[in-house]
Amino acid sequence: MNSKTLLIKHLILLLILISISGCSNKKTEFQDSITNTEDAMNYLRNLEGEWIATLENDNSHYGFEYILSARDNVIIERLRTDIPTEMLTVYNVEHNTLKASHYCQLQNQPKLIAVNSGGGDINLLCTGEVGNTSNHDEFHMHGYHILNTDTGYIVWMDMYKDGEIIMNNRYELFRVDSEKGRELISLK
């Protein structure tokens, strides 16, 4: 085999390897990430404190807590604080992008970024990076939404598997010291 043929075969093999590795991570690019990160962080800062949550279609009650840290530049969200499968999400702004790292009871860690919702509420979507999984199609939280209501907030998680959202968990949050919060605590 002459050197020119060998060189061509090596280049073809190199192109195949590059195309395989370049397409395998399924990292998602977002054209619509929010640009006003200061307003988004202020929205999250308003959640500071303890909340009691009801799970939709269930009589269960869960504790949620939002903690400000690092001179109020990081928001720590503790979900389901009163059970052994507590979860944690850490929000911060990096390079003008609101990001979140979620540490799930499923033992995986989806990375999320905030995208425009059109309504001023917070919507985060998975970037395609999900720590502690072998691939993006494994069961994980793919979206997280926070909606302000007259009585508190509604949050929900889009659960994703094999390329599609298969369910969502929806919680209604009430401040612990609100009338509804006190009522729910007395039912526990």
CATH number of the domain enclosing 77: 2.40.128.20
Q: What is the pLDDT of residue 47?
A: 96
* 101 — pLDDT class (breaks 50, 70, 90): very high
Residue 183 lies in a domain: yes
Q: Which of 109, 123, 102 is nearest to 40 (CA)?
A: 123
Residue 67 lies in a domain: yes
Residue 2 lies in a domain: no
Residue 111 lies in a domain: yes
Question: Is the pLDDT confidence value at 88 over 90?
Answer: yes
Least confident residue range of 30-44, 45-59, 91-105, 152-166: 30-44
Residue 105 lies in a domain: yes
Q: What is the pLDDT of residue 16?
A: 53
Q: What is the count of structural domains for the chain?
A: 1
Residue 21 lies in a domain: no
Domain boundaries, position 68: 28-187
Mean pLDDT of the chain: 84
* 82 — pLDDT class (breaks 50, 70, 90): confident
Dihedrals φ, ψ of 125, to 5°?
-125, 150
Least confident residue range of 18-22, 54-58, 145-149, 176-180: 18-22
> Mean pLDDT, to the nearest integer, of 158-187?
92
Could you tell me what percent of the chain has a pLDDT over 90? 54
Question: Is the pLDDT confidence value at 113 over 90?
Answer: yes
